Amino acid sequence: MTNILGIAAMAVALVPAPKEQVWREGTCAYVEKDVRYVRDAALPPEGYRLEVTTGGITVASADDAGAFYARKTLKQLAAGDGGRAGARPSRGASGTPRPTIPCCVINDAPAFRWRGFMLDEGRHFFGKETVKGLLDQMADHKLNVFHWHLTEDQGWRIDIPRFPELVKYGSVRPESPMHGCRGTKGDFRGNGQQYGPYFYTADDIREILAYAKERFIMVVPEIEVPGHIRALLAAHPEFACKEGLPRVPCMFNGVQDEVLCAGNDDAIRFMEQVYDEVCTLFPGAYIHIGGDECPKKRWKECPKCQARIKSLGLKDEDELQAWVTRHFTDYLAKKGRRTIGWDEILAGNPGTETIVHNWRKPKYGIEAAEKGHDVVVSGLGMTYFSVPQGVPDDPFTYLSPKMRCSLAKAYSFDPCAGMTDAAKKHVLGAECCMWSECVWNEYDLAFKLWPRACAFAETVWTGGISDAQERVPPAGRDFADFARRMAIHRKRLIAAGVNCAPLE
């Protein structure tokens, strides 16, 4: 396993840690064009073998992604501790300083194939440049799924030219809660500032998709149904159960009673057409359909929804939601797409072809995997970096200021915790999430995301079960070692202009 020889190698701080690393005496000057890349079909997908000798650098991989991740490792090795120590520059023929890399052999491959980051742009819109910066940082940390939460109660962020009213009404709200986050329905004080119109055009999306593809990142758009759609209902109030909804997205936070009328055929047909357009824009294999936090209050009162329950012979409103999930899963399957939904969809026993995105208690992820669903795991207390890290003098506001997810807690995350071996086989991977009720700009966002997302990246790339779970750490995952590397890696993030929060 890990073998660190000599003091120079102690300055090496790879994040996420590779699976196996052996350090040797000597160094090699790093010149990207002189790196030798070879193919080795025997290596695992996305994996690589990196060999640095005094004579040169060789990278072997089975695929382009593996070579890409080897370059990311080389970049960190060459950066040392951000240019101040560690990698001592040598001089090339022209006298220009060149970084050097300690001699080593690194064998590396990801523990999980779904290594995601979710960005909520419904509550707050960050824009193309911030998203591209995040994609760069994801790639640097070997994350490969960008889950793009584009529709919410508070904003609709994707232009669907066939339905221009979606962004006309859905992408602009008259105001936002004062202090960023303290507004709930019963206690709403607005800041008096119009927010929007903010949305992505088809050209913007194509640009982001191309940028992501170059970095081996898959983009999974999330278009929520049947809840969290007040912004859609602002554009099309005819698709709500209740008449007379205001033609503006929701201004306050929290779970909304107003959802899509599941008994209205026109509403179902409309969503199909929205997904048609989303599939045209997004070529990826997966579409996230949300499905979380859908109160059944309106469905219980709505004659159309009740008529649907009766005509389909459903037991209750939970089964009506399952019908909605199954309807869009089947619809999207015909278009060659696989759906993923938040774990509330389990209540109605959807078909196992739907991937379940666990976000509440781990028991729902375990239940889903045991029922045969593939599972992506996020943990409200472990991978939701919209809650405070708990560092002193944190200048930013939070939706749940009393909750905590420390760096050590984030590092202790294990997507497979509590699962049987059979259930573990269904875990595709995990996602860390940035909900943006209280995130106002890229500095705020970066402070909340980093360094915890570095810890997350290690949990999904390096894998293993952390000490915090009091289990044997098969990949040598150890928080003290992570903290040592992270202290160095944080300097690199700061040097790159990323507003990384302090460690604890």
If binding is defined by CB under 5 A, does position 302 make contact with Zn ion? yes
Nearer to Zn ion, 111 or 241 (CB): 241
Q: Distance of CA 263 to CAs 204, 291, 322, 323, Å?
A: 34, 16, 13, 11
CA dist 473 and 376 (Å) reads: 22
The least CB distance from residue 171 to Zn ion, in Å, is 25
CA 291/CA 133 separation, integer angstroms? 29
Which of 78/302 has CB closer to Zn ion?
A: 302
In the complex, minimum distance from the CB of residue 311 to Zn ion, in angstroms, rounded to a whole number: 13
Of the pair 245, 468, the CB lying nearest Zn ion is at 245
DSSP state of 413: -
52 binds Zn ion (CB under 5 A): no
Give CA–CA dist 278/292, Å, rounded. Answer: 20
| Nearer to Zn ion (CB atom), residue 305 or residue 430 | 305
Q: How, if at all, do strands 56-61 and 97-98 pair?
A: unpaired
Work out whether the CA dihedral 210, 214, 217, 218 comes out positive or negative: positive
Q: Which stretch binds Zn ion (CB under 5 A): 3-11, 92-100, 225-233, 297-305?
A: 297-305
Residue 70 token pair? 């080897």
Nearest approach, Cβ of residue 163 and Zn ion (Å): 20
Using the rule CB under 5 A, give the single segment among 213-221, 236-244, 286-294, 434-442 that binds Zn ion: 236-244
> Residues 48, 14: contact at Cβ < 8 Å?
no
CB of 241 to Zn ion, least distance (A): 3
Minimum Å distance from CB 262 to Zn ion?
6
Q: Are 86 and 399 in contact (CB under 8 A)?
A: no
Minimum separation from the CB atom of position 272 to Zn ion (A)? 17
Nearest to Zn ion of 175, 257 (CB atom): 257
Site mask, Zn ion, residues 361-380, x = CB under 5 A? --------------------
Asked if residue 493 binds Zn ion (CB under 5 A), the reply is no
**Among the candidate windows 80-88, 257-265, 338-346, 453-461, which touches Zn ion by CB under 5 A?**
257-265
Pairing of strands 375-377, 355-358: parallel
204 or 272: CB nearest Zn ion: 272
Nearer to Zn ion, 231 or 302 (CB): 302
The position carrying tokens 């979606």 is 166
Check residue 132 for interaction with Zn ion (CB under 5 A): no
Pairing of strands 20-29, 218-222: unpaired
CA–CA gap between residue 184 and residue 283 (Å, rounded)? 37
Task: Using DSSP, state whether 474 is helix, strand or coil.
Answer: coil
Judged by CB under 5 A, the stretch of 240-248, 251-259, 373-381, 462-470 that binds Zn ion is: 240-248
Spatial contact of 320 and 314, defined as CB atoms under 8 Å apart: yes
* Binding segment toward Zn ion, per CB under 5 A, in 201-209, 294-302, 321-329, 481-489: 294-302
Q: Which of 305, 309, 387, 432 lies at the binding interface for Zn ion (CB under 5 A)?
A: 305
CB of 308 to Zn ion, least distance (A): 8
Q: How far is the CB of 291 from Zn ion (least distance, A)?
A: 17
Beta carbons within 8 Å of 493's beta carbon, 6+ residues apart: 137, 450, 451, 500
Among 106, 261, 408, 465, binds Zn ion (CB under 5 A): 261
Give one DSSP letter per residue of 68-130, joined into a string: HHHHHHHHHHHHTTTSSSSS--EE-TTS-EE-EEEEEEEEE--S-SEEEEEEETTTS---HHH
CB 396 within 8 A of CB 415: no
Number of residues engaging Zn ion in binding (CB under 5 A) = 6
> Least CB distance from residue 302 to Zn ion, whole Å?
3
263 binds Zn ion (CB under 5 A): yes
From residue 283, alpha-carbon distances to 150, 222, 287, 484 in Å are 16, 14, 10, 41
Q: For Zn ion, which is the closer residue by CB, 263 or 388?
A: 263
> Can the peptide bond before residue 451 be classed as cis, meaning omega within 30 degrees of 0?
yes
Span interacting with Zn ion, options 82-90, 254-262, 405-413, 435-443, rule CB under 5 A = 254-262
| Segment interacting with Zn ion (CB under 5 A) among 258-266, 324-332, 371-379, 395-403 | 258-266
Cα(425)–Cα(151) distance, integer angstroms = 31
Stretch that binds Zn ion, among 59-67, 69-77, 259-267, 432-440 (CB under 5 A): 259-267
Q: Compare residues 173 and 236 and give the one whose CB is closer to Zn ion.
A: 236
Nearer to Zn ion, 257 or 467 (CB): 257
Could you tell me which residues come within 8 angstroms of residue 48 by beta carbon, excluding any fewer than 6 positions away? 59, 60, 61, 66, 67, 69, 70, 73, 106, 108, 109
**Closer residue to Zn ion, CB minimum distance, 203 or 243:** 243
Taking CA atoms, 231 is separated from 94, 120, 435, in Å, by: 59, 14, 17
Q: Which is nearer to Zn ion, 60 or 241 (CB)?
A: 241
- Minimum CB distance to Zn ion smaller for 12 or for 233: 233
Query: Binding of Zn ion at residue 241 (CB under 5 A)?
Result: yes
Q: Does 271 bind Zn ion (CB under 5 A)?
A: no
Which tokens hold the place of 51?
A: 């060999």
Q: Is 304 in the site for Zn ion (CB under 5 A)?
A: yes
Minimum distance, C-beta of residue 374 to Zn ion, in the bound complex (Å): 31
> What does the alpha-carbon distance between residue 93 and residue 99 come to, in Å, rounded to a whole number?
14
Q: Which stretch binds Zn ion (CB under 5 A): 73-81, 147-155, 299-307, 471-479?
A: 299-307
Give residues in contact with Zn ion (CB under 5 A).
241, 261, 263, 302, 304-305
